[in-house]
Chains A and B, each alone.
Chain A
């Protein structure tokens, strides 16, 4: 894990990249407006959000019980449940299964949870090659990059870049259009599907009542990954649990409308255990790795509702910061508003101290979040937490100006001085103009007080005239 992340530096270089900005903006805008249309077309959506939140509250209020119930029911259905306290344990579980099988090739459908434990880096060491099968993830893998959006991982690339990449790595003709690029990927990936020993998936939902997992994709890669190889391993964060099978329809509505503005995705695969007696489809072994990795402690803390996140990406698409910089600047698996909150919580405030500031508190994310997670409030709370870590001296330094401001006479005096200084405008020496307020003048001039007397003098004068 990186020592400490500098978001100002990372974001400053991202905003300078015009291809990136245009590509991210285009897709994020499209997803944003498709979501808006889909939500508008569904009259009960606001009530559905309340319902979804209350169902997730039930789970986060008693997480350990729900995890146990899920794993019991999964085992009853013939699957194997594994618990992983952290990324290292999860990787170990997966590589042990792979070694035990003597597996050499795995296909993988998109899973941010697998990304979270860096599974792709670990499997080759166990002698298993992994192929990402989601088109976006496949592009990223070929490019040797990291996903930059939790739903649309290759959002930062435009079609010309993908065509060049396929030309270089897959030997396709140069300059292909989108349709042809998709055909090239289909052909390359089909072979890998048929040859794979293991299918690795995530899960969008894990249903406690029945030990069922549900996987949602548009491409069908989730379905292929879970249907063709003899063994399926699903990496599932324990936050993915919902109580009952009858809750699934409601959560699917919330997820797909928020993620891509679809009433439903092309494929929803609802899996309860491995293939049964006599069946010809599905794995003969189903392993579910239940990943904690810092989640359990959230349930009893002030950020509990982060456990309700559906990973729909709506907050990313709505976020002015994410839209301007894309995902890589966050240097985390989870970018955008949800990532600003999750990254410091899961990997430490020391590593991601800057991310709570990657937010203008504009409030748009909270407006679109299907689970009504109070994301802006959580950003504020993290800033409070961070301030608390800085110690007494820093706290005092921050409080001193508040004491001054609280005192009307001192406040007015200080304001008067500032007003006079600012009135000098361009006559101010450069050292003052760009020195102390240097960050302000990176993109702006110093403000100058508007013409006329200050309000207080005007008020007093006017009052004495009236009297």
Chain B
């Protein structure tokens, strides 16, 4: 089985280790990974600020790069959500393009969702360094991709009783793309609430499937002086358990 990796610009810029871990985990489950080098950004910054001309450009570029791919696996939920749920509607006047985008959308997965649905991974080994861990189920993972409970199950297998679920885990962390800089005081308040819940679990590491949320949470934690808590893409913890 062969997939094409959608690296996402966030991983490209900030999270090489997460991307490496994704590749390693996929390969560990017998998946062959290709990396189309010409890929750039999925275009969310334009899509979410109403700049559709820019969003269309990047959607078309994505199509150029990925249309031939058998299966596409995105490292971050919000990018998978963009491809799956928003590209086609950018082209209301072109039935042909719509069809092509819809076809690509059907072959696109978020990383954890892919593991669960396609190779059908049921079991993660116990992690060699059990540390109290919690999980931030990002809004796009929950409501864009529709993934509930899967990551939590893997975490439970890896960390046993050291996995604790996050109170109010369906509430937004306050990132929201342009929201984070247009309304920074408000964004900061939601961030602080989220981190308060994280602290309450006593967790030393937080896993997520959305790198944008992780950026927001980790830099927020740094500002608030929460030095002990570390933030990871779920794949990094899986990679640790698999070696």
Q: Which residues of A contact B (CB under 8 A)?
A: 7-8, 11-12, 15-16, 21, 320-321, 324-325, 356-364, 366-367, 380-388, 395, 398-399, 401-403, 405-408, 411, 415, 418-419, 422, 437, 439-456, 458-459
Shortest B1–chain A CB gap in Å is 18
Residue pairs across A and B with Cβ atoms less than 8 A apart, 16 shown, are: A11-B183, A11-B185, A321-B190, A359-B179, A362-B172, A399-B51, A402-B51, A443-B184, A443-B191, A444-B191, A444-B219, A449-B14, A449-B16, A454-B12, A454-B16, A459-B23
Chain B residue, CB-CB nearest to A416: B13
Number of A-B contacts (CB under 8 A): 196
A320 touching B50 by the CB < 8 A rule? no
Q: Categorize the interface residue count of chain B.
A: 35 or more
CA separation between A325 and B186, bound complex, in Å? 8
CA separation between A458 and B190, bound complex, in Å? 36
- Near A by CB (< 8 A), chain B positions 132-159 give 139-140, 142-144
CA separation between A455 and B21, bound complex, in Å? 10
A439 touching B181 by the CB < 8 A rule? yes
CA separation between A417 and B55, bound complex, in Å? 23
A387 touching B139 by the CB < 8 A rule? no
A380 touching B54 by the CB < 8 A rule? no
B49 touching A450 by the CB < 8 A rule? no
CA separation between A384 and B92, bound complex, in Å? 14
Q: Which of A408, A444, A458 contacts B220 (CB 8 A)?
A: A444
A406 touching B58 by the CB < 8 A rule? yes
Report the 9 A-B pairs with minimum CB-CB distance, sorted nearest first.
A443-B188, A360-B176, A383-B50, A402-B54, A362-B172, A442-B184, A363-B143, A12-B185, A384-B50
Please give, as numbers and ranges, the residues of chain A lying within 8 Å of B91 by CB-CB distance: none
Shortest B67–chain A CB gap in Å is 15
Q: Is the interface of A mostly helix, strand, loop or mixed?
A: helix
CA separation between A439 and B171, bound complex, in Å? 23
- Near A by CB (< 8 A), chain B positions 159-188 give 170-172, 174-188
B183 touching A8 by the CB < 8 A rule? yes
B186 touching A383 by the CB < 8 A rule? no
Given known contacts A364-B139, A455-B7, A440 and B177 CB-to-CB distance under 8 angstroms:
no
Please give, as numbers and ranges, the residues of chain B lying within 8 Å of A405 by CB-CB distance: 9, 40-41, 43, 57-58
Chain A residue, CB-CB nearest to B143: A363
B121 within 8 A of A: no
Please give, as numbers and ranges, the residues of chain B lying within 8 Å of A454 by CB-CB distance: 12, 16
Please give, as numbers and ranges, the residues of chain B lying within 8 Å of A411 by CB-CB distance: 9, 40-41
B129 within 8 A of A: no
Please give, as numbers and ranges, the residues of chain A lying within 8 Å of B70 by CB-CB distance: none
Please give, as numbers and ranges, the residues of chain A lying within 8 Å of B184 by CB-CB distance: 439-440, 442-443
Please give, as numbers and ranges, the residues of chain B lying within 8 Å of A383 by CB-CB distance: 48-50
B131 within 8 A of A: no
B196 within 8 A of A: no
Scan B55-76; emit 1 where CB is below 8 A from any A CB, else 0. 1011011000000000000000
CA separation between A21 and B12, bound complex, in Å? 38
Please give, as numbers and ranges, the residues of chain B lying within 8 Å of A362 by CB-CB distance: 139, 143, 171-172, 176
B46 touching A402 by the CB < 8 A rule? yes
A415 touching B12 by the CB < 8 A rule? yes
B189 within 8 A of A: yes
Please give, as numbers and ranges, the residues of chain A lying within 8 Å of B176 by CB-CB distance: 359-362
B50 touching A452 by the CB < 8 A rule? no
Please give, as numbers and ranges, the residues of chain A lying within 8 Å of B53 by CB-CB distance: 395, 398-399, 402
